[in-house]
Structure formats: structure tokens, C-alpha cells
């Protein structure tokens, strides 16, 4: 069964259950400052999970493009990828557990024809401290489903300590069976929705013959495969252990709570949010423990084998997986408008390309080769994602440009190496780290070059320097992420909603002052300020900045009513609504209009009239990336209207 087969079966199944099929959102989230990338299917759905009406109704399904850069160090094992597709279906205050669980059982056992004897599930164990009970209802429904096909399904509560004990349904705490974008309940900010979940696992029957070491293939360690059966021999096996016997293939989240200052309360509506990894479901349908052996990756493996002269086998398998994963991810990123850069989303696009180049070197590939793999990705996905074919020239150009740039960096690093160490026989940790940090020269290549010249490298000293600097970087990243999460639009705070509304006025004002070529390229909104990225080839003049600022304030002072309408995409175009029409929308879209000034497609929350926004002030105008400018602005003196 191919990946495209599984996607189609899923979409057709839920279409038959009266679900509207909606298109995938972009990998760069709109109106969400909590994260750089769309990392889950529910992320674009937050406003609707919180109660806003979706223009397509209360039953929805899709296949959402996702990117999780936090998994980058796990790439190289049999199941993790940075980019993946998440099959999703939602009930927005419509059906709940009694329908969702039987539907998923039918989809897995009848549509994908998975053997129910090899399906195991988990439920939420409950948490008395936060007042959320054990999910006995899901346990009961699953038990009935298994019994309907003649399978006894006992519920086990302590499998992490005592193993599976012949059970079929297992309860876990919030680290495993609670879902929110922030993770466990104690990490959730006020205003964030979440809920208990019930997950589905496929049993491959035995541990992996080999698996990764803890930490995967990070930037500075190339671990050899280890034998999982021996490593986990003395540990209790259960569906969430790491031996590789079980693979999670789907997760029903019952999004029914929201965190408040006083604790958790029920949302106005009970929601269902299912997420199933398309690649993992395809692997289960083909009963392969290695998701990189499903059909979608086969052309890339063949190309890489031809280029390198090596086979996808134990000695090379992790290198192949890293390269294939990274190029698929960066192809989709550039397809969605992200180009390699030094910051934000562009930084990760650049990092993915550079890691792929480096792992290609481990396969003894010296010439540019990544574009050949990108062409394979585009061809394999073009029917489902036509924007890849439309942007093929840009994708290939950006990949080649960054690949050549990094190859030059490597050459520069070699020259610097020779300059520093021509009269020395050893490379100490501090010097090695300086080569890595300043010149982008990877430690593996430092070691390789040192060995070639008969020198030694203090790898322990390098690791000490690396760990110290990584800790500093992680602390800064955590602080930044915390700040973003605290003030994200998803909290629907009063100020976040005001800043979001102000971006509409800013967008139209920029088009008026600078020209129709201006298009929104992204936004980041907190209760303290707005950040707005837009296409424009040059720095704005002080006069243009002032004109833009004045134009926005004129609209605020008019105290215009903000109205919302639902219409077709064709009607929205005819009405002159601003929107990214090269991307797919559903059949019906929401249009927000402010007087005769602003008319824009949007799904986020807005104020009722512009007068409450106060005074708009641009605090900074700067470059965001090539051809993209960035404005930061604040709202002051919130006194025009109340």
C-alpha cells in the first residue's frame, strides 16, 4: 500500500462520515507566535477548538504538512522525520468519544486491513491534583471494539513497571497521554487548550535488530547501531518503551479543557482532534519497521545509492536517512516560501541543507548532489502538493546556492586549519570549537583532517566547550520560546487580539504607500507588540514609514466597525480581499472588513471596532531576509474609544 493510497483512503473514509475536506495549511503558521513551524495538525485549528465557527462546518478532515525541528537529533532511527504529513479529523463540538473511537478502529482494521490482534492502545490515567479524572470512558469503548472481533482487552495500569501483563489497553500519566502544544499540564500557559488522549500502537512482533543510541545523530556524534534486543533485555517491554517493537500510529485527543488562572475548566464545546502520522500508518500497513522503506522514499534511496556508489544498509543506513529526511523537509519549506537564512525559519532551512551536505561527505560524496534528490521529492508529491512543481526552479536554485556556499565554508575551514596547526601536532578543545563555531567547520571533519595529517584532536575538550555553549544557547532559546508562548495570539488575550487586528490595517497601508507588490510573509504577535514581514525590495524611507503610520492611525480614529462574512474564494477575489491565493483555501473562507479600507481573508480573532486600538507607532523597520522587510510596532494611548 503506497503513501498516496493511505492518504486517499483516510480522506475518503471521513468524507463518507460527512466531514468537509480542508487543504493543508502552510508550514509557516499564520497568526501564531508560539512556534516557527506548523508542528501538528491542530495548530491551524486553535481558534475553532476554542469556539470560533469554522466556515466549513463542525466536521473537518485533512492531511496537514508538519515540521518538527526538535526531532532533528532523532533523525537516523527507523521512525523519526523532521517533515511529515499528519492525517487529521476534527469534531468541533459535534461528535465525541462514542463515535471517534469506533471510526478509528474501523479505519485501521477495515480500510487499512491491519490485524486487530496487533493493535494496542493507551488511555489517560488521570491526575487528581489538577482535577482531571481517569479516562475510563475511552477504555470502555476500546474494550467493546476489541471484543466485537473476539479479542479480550484487559486494562493495565502499571505497565511501565511490570510490563504488559497480557493487557491490550494501558493507562499512562500526562507525560504520555495528555496533549497540548505546550506539553504536560503544568507547562501550559493560561488560555491554552488541551485534553486527555488515547493513542494507537502497531506491534511489529519483536524489537529492532538495531537502533540508535540515545540522542541520535546529532551535530557532533556519529554513533554506531546497537542491538536493541540486548540493551532492553532486562527492562519491562510495553507500548511506550524504546525497543522498537511498537510504533505509535495515531492519537485521538479529546480537547475539552482550557487552562485558567484558577486551574482547568471545561471548554464551551467538547472537541475531537485526531492526528495520525501518514508515513507511520503506511509503514504499519506494509508491516515494515523502517518507515524509510515505504514507497515514497524509494526513488531517493535509489538516487543516493547511484551517486554514492553505496547501498542503503547497516553501515550507511543512518547517513541515508538523515540526507533523505532533510532534503524532503527543505524542499517543502522552500515550497512554502522559506529560504535559507541566518535566522528564524530560514536558519533551519539552512541547517537542514548543511547537515545533508555533511552526511553526504560521510558517504564520500564531494560534488553537489542535493538538487537531484529534491527533484525526486517534487515528482513524488506533485499530485498532492502542486506548489512544489510551481516553485521547482526556486527550490532547486536555493538548495544549490546554499550547498555551494557551505562547500566554500568547508574549503575555508580547511585553509584555516592549516594556518593554525601547521607547526602543531595536536588540536586542543578550545581551538577545535573555534573552528566549528567561527568557520562552521564540523568536528567530524576536524578529526578527519587531523588524522590525515597525523595530528590528534582533544575531542573531550571540544565536547566540554560544545556542551557549555549549547547550554547557553538552549537557555536563551528557552527564554525566547517562553516569551513567545506567554504572549502568543493563541491565548486570545485582549492585547493580542488588538495587535492582530492592527496587522490588517498595516498590511493595507503598506500596499497603499509602497505598491501592490507588497504581500504578507509572516507575522508574530504578542500582547506587547506586533511584528509583520512583507515583500519589498528595499529599505523604507523615513517618509514612507511616517506615511504608513499616519494612514493606520487615520483608520483607527475613524472607529470603523469590523465585520465578518463567509463566502467562496471566487467571491473573495472579486471583492478584492487580500489573501495568499497561490495557496489552497477551503470552499468557504472568512473575510474581515474594516470600513472601505481593509478587506482580508483571515481565521483569527478581531476587535469589534478600530477605535479601541489606540495610537499605532512603528518602532523599527529592518531586513528580514532577501526581498523581505520587517516592521515592529506598538499600540499606545489606548484612549480613542473604549
Give the C-alpha separation, 350 to 343, whole Å: 9
Residue pair 75/216 in contact (Cβ under 8 Å)? The answer is: yes
Annotated binding site for Zn(2+): 500, 504, 602, 606
562-568 and 588-594 beta bridge pairing: antiparallel
What's the rounded Cα separation, in Å, for the pair 368 and 143?
54
Q: Which of 442, 448, 347 is nearest to 402 (CA)?
A: 347
Tell me the C-alpha distance between 635 and 506, whole Å.
12
Annotated binding site: 500, 504, 602, 606
Q: What is the spatial distance between Cα 44 and Cα 486, in angstroms, rounded to a whole number? A: 18
Strands (E), 368-526: 426-427, 456-457, 520-525
Taking the mean position of all CA atoms in its chain, how far away is CA 119? Answer: 27
Sheet of 588-594: strands edge to edge?
562-568, 588-594, 598-601
**Contact yes or no for 160/236 (Cβ under 8 A):** yes
Q: What span, in angstroms and rounded, lies between the C-alpha atoms of 504 and 597?
A: 10
Extract the C-alpha cell encoding 306: 547511484
> Cα angle at 81 between 79 and 83, to 5 degrees?
145
CA 230 – CA 213 distance, rounded (Å): 13
C-alpha cell at 408: 566554500
Closest CA to 61 of 93, 86, 89, 99: 89
Q: Are 361 and 288 in contact (CB under 8 A)?
A: no
How is residue 225 written as a grid cell? 547501531
Amino acid at each position: 500500500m503506497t503513501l498516496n493510497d493511505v492518504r486517499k483512503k483516510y480522506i475518503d473514509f471521513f468524507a463518507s462520515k460527512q466531514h468537509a475536506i480542508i487543504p493543508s495549511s502552510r508550514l509557516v503558521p499564520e497568526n501564531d507566535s508560539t512556534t516557527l513551524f506548523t508542528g501538528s495538525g491542530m495548530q491551524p485549528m486553535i481558534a475553532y477548538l476554542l469556539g470560533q465557527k469554522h466556515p466549513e462546518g463542525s466536521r473537518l478532515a485533512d492531511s496537514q504538512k508538519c515540521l518538527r525541528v526538535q526531532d532533528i537529533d532523532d533523525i537516523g532511527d527507523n521512525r523519526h522525520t523532521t517533515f511529515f504529513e499528519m492525517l487529521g479529523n476534527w469534531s468541533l463540538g459535534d461528535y465525541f468519544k462514542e463515535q471517534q473511537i469506533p471510526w478509528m478502529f474501523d479505519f485501521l482494521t477495515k480500510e487499512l486491513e491491519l490485524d486487530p490482534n496487533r493493535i494496542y492502545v493507551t488511555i489517560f490515567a488521570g491526575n487528581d491534583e489538577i482535577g482531571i479524572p481517569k479516562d475510563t470512558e475511552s477504555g470502555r469503548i476500546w474494550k467493546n471494539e476489541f471484543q466485537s472481533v473476539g479479542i479480550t482487552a484487559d486494562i493495565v495500569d502499571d505497565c511501565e513497571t511490570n510490563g504488559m501483563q497480557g493487557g491490550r489497553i494501558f493507562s499512562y500519566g500526562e507525560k504520555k497521554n495528555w496533549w497540548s502544544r505546550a506539553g504536560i499540564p503544568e507547562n501550559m500557559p493560561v488560555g491554552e487548550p488541551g485534553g486527555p488522549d488515547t493513542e494507537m500502537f502497531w506491534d511489529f512482533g519483536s524489537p529492532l535488530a538495531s537502533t540508535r543510541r540515545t540522542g541520535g545523530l546529532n551535530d557532533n556524534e556519529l554513533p554506531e547501531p546497537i542491538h536493541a534486543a540486548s540493551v532492553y533485555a532486562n527492562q519491562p517491554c510495553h507500548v511506550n518503551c524504546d525497543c522498537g517493537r511498537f510504533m505509535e500510529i495515531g492519537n485521538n485527543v479529546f480537547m475539552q479543557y482550557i487552562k485558567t488562572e484558577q486551574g482547568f475548566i471545561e471548554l464551551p464545546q467538547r472537541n475531537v482532534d485526531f492526528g495520525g502520522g501518514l508515513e507511520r500508518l503506511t509503514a504499519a500497513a506494509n508491516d515494515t519497521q523502517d518507515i524509510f522503506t515505504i514507497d515514497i522514499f524509494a526513488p531517493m534511496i535509489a538516487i543516493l545509492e547511484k551517486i554514492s556508489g553505496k547501498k542503503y544498509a547497516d553501515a550507511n543506513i543512518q547517513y541515508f536517512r538523515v540526507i533523505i529526511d532533510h532534503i524532503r523537509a527543505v524542499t517543502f519549506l522552500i515550497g512554502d516560501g522559506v529560504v535559507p537564512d541566518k535566522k528564524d525559519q530560514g536558519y533551519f532551512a539552512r541547517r537542514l541543507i548543511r547537515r545533508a551536505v555533511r552526511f553526504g561527505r560521510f558517504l564520500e560524496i564531494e560534488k553537489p548532489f542535493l538538487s537531484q534528490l529534491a527533484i525526486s521529492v517534487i515528482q513524488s508529491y506533485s499530485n498532492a502538493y502542486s506548489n512544489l512543481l510551481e516553485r521547482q526552479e526556486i527550490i532547486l536554485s536555493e538548495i544549490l546556492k546554499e550547498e555551494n556556499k557551505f562547500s566554500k565554508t568547508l574549503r575555508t575551514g580547511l585553509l584555516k586549519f592549516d594556518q593554525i596547526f601547521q607547526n602543531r601536532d595536536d588540536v586542543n578543545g578550545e581551538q577545535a570549537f573555534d573552528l566549528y563555531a567561527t568557520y562552521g567547520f564540523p568536528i567530524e571533519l576536524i578529526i578527519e583532517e587531523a588524522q590525515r595529517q597525523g595530528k590528534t584532536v582533544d575531542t573531550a575538550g571540544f565536547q566540554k566547550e560544545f556542551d557549555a555553549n549549547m547550554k547557553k544557547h538552549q537557555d536563551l532559546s528557552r527564554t525566547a520560546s517562553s516569551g513567545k508562548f506567554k504572549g502568543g495570539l493563541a491565548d486570545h488575550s485582549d492585547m493580542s487580539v488588538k495587535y492582530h487586528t492592527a496587522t490588517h490595517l498595516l498590511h493595507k497601508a503598506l500596499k497603499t504607500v509602497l505598491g501592490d507588490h507588497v504581500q504578507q510573509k509572516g507575522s508574530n504577535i504578542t500582547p506587547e507588540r506586533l511584528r509583520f514581514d512583507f515583500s519589498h525590495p528595499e529599505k523604507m524611507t523615513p517618509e514612507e514609514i511616517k506615511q504608513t503610520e499616519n494612514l493606520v492611525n487615520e483608520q483607527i480614529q475613524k472607529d470603523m466597525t469590523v465585520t465578518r462574512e463567509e463566502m467562496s474564494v471566487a467571491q473573495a477575489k472579486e471583492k478584492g480581499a487580500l489573501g495568499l491565493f497561490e495557496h489552497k483555501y477551503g470552499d468557504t473562507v472568512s473575510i474581515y472588513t474594516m470600513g472601505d479600507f481593509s478587506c482580508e481573508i483571515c481565521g483569527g480573532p478581531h476587535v469589534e471596532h478600530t477605535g479601541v486600538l489606540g495610537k499605532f507607532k512603528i518602532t523599527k523597520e529592518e531586513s528580514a531576509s532577501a526581498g523581505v522587510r520587517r516592521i515592529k510596532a506598538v499600540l499606545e494611548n489606548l484612549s480613542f474609544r473604549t
